[in-house]
Amino acid sequence: MPDINFDHAAAAPVLDRARAAMQEFLEKEFGNPSSLHQSGERPRQALETARAQVAALVNARPEEIVFTASGSESNNLAVKGLALAQPDKGRHIVVSAIEHASVLESARALARLGFEVTEVPVDGTGTVRPEKLRAAIRPDTVLVSVMHANNEVGTIQNLMELTRTCCSHKVLFHSDGCAAVGRVPVDIAELGVDAYSFAAQSVYGPRGAAALCLRRGVRIRPLVDGGVQERNRRAGTENVAAVAGFGVAAEFCHAHINEWSRHMARLSRRILTELPERLKHVVLTGCQDHRLPGHASMCVEFVEGEAMLLFLDDEGIRAASGSSCTARNLKASHVLLAMGLPHALAQSSLMLTLGRDSTDSDVDYFLDKLPGIVERLRRMSPLYARFQRGEDPYQTRPGQVCEEHEHTTEEN
């Protein structure tokens, strides 16, 4: 039986070169980078080397990189830290309705502290329309957070247009880039963001390392108080081994991202094109014109997403039904519901995230196995039985029209 990872968004294999870079700081160079004596010198150099490597990946300055332990921590630091650092301007923040849980829950935590939160709706493809964002901004708005690309449906936002809107209102803009980094080239200077979050695992680095890129001159309030690490923006001894691995992985990704993007885009296009020819009643989700390379998302009507995942796992295929951070709550995806899909249809979601190591034979195997799995599950489905009787199992049908909007991210 093959072992096929179509869930790279949750966990990707660590590059050999990244693992080798980590080993030195796990076995030999164990010093604290804040120490003044000789043992701290090599770890301190490693941190700054990695800072430059990670900054180059997104076209930032090294001093703009704040190392954290995860993408969720980076998002928490950005949303809470940027909002709390502007007490004199206002207490209103804006997020999109399809943000990652770490952004939405950070916003809700601020609401409990007296902030007002506005969630901007999306269209049927998961796209934030500039006019909707413009309408949500108020004189007391201090922060807008809209993800670069959605991890569940693959839609890439037109960040440049959104950031221009915020800039004209003098409002800070944060973007969660965890789904985009490692799949498309990212240039934060071109995007115009004030803060940008991403994680090492997106570039085949180790879990336990991530970054928040904070534009020079932007004030932020630390969430972890203590020492002066990370230029007073995040206290605590840095995870030197993980950061070193992150840096090496970022440098390798930077050199190969265009090649990886083309490869992943070709494979995911095969799935999105060929699966509906083999399996009826498949609803593709997300924007089909502006989406992440290597990302295929859909709803397979009349079956439960979790059941598909278990049967695929039995066949040696690892896939997902949504964000790994909410995978075990067995609820319909808030992303799909925000896009207007009926609740029952949203529960039939399937998400595939391919990687640089995915192959055509992996795609062939998946396309051969899924139709039989779905046929078996539909025989047990009351929704399918209702459909066969000529009844409509859903009250509404999802719209799949994506209005044309100009994107600056390189399409592959």
Q: What residue ranges define each of the domains in the chain, with the CATH number in brackets?
A: 16-253 (3.40.640.10), 258-388 (3.90.1150.10)
Instruction: Write down the pLDDT at residue 303.
Output: 94
Q: What is the pLDDT of residues 1-52, one digit of tens each?
A: 899 999 999 999 999 999 999 999 999 888 889 988 988 899 999 999 999 9
The catalytically annotated residue of 166, 253, 325, 402 is 325
Task: List the beta strands (DSSP E) in 343-385.
Answer: 349-353
* Active-site residue flag, 402: no
SS3 of residue 203 by DSSP? helix
Instruction: Tell me which amino acid residue 138 is.
Output: R
Q: Is the pTM of this model over 0.75?
A: yes
> Which letter does DSSP use for residue 331 in this model?
P
- How do 172-176 and 195-199 pair as beta strands? parallel
Q: Is the pLDDT of residue 141 over 60?
A: yes
Q: Is the pLDDT of residue 327 over 90?
A: no
Which tokens sit at 73? Answer: 């921590």
Q: How far apart are CA 296 and CA 292, in angstroms?
A: 9
Q: What is the pLDDT of residues 183-222, one digit of tens each?
A: 999 999 999 999 999 999 999 999 999 999 999 999 999 9
Q: What count of other Cβ atoms lies within 10 Å of the Cβ of residue 288?
A: 14
Instruction: Write down the pLDDT at residue 407.
Output: 44
Which tokens sit at 207? Answer: 């879990």
Mean pLDDT of 314-336: 78
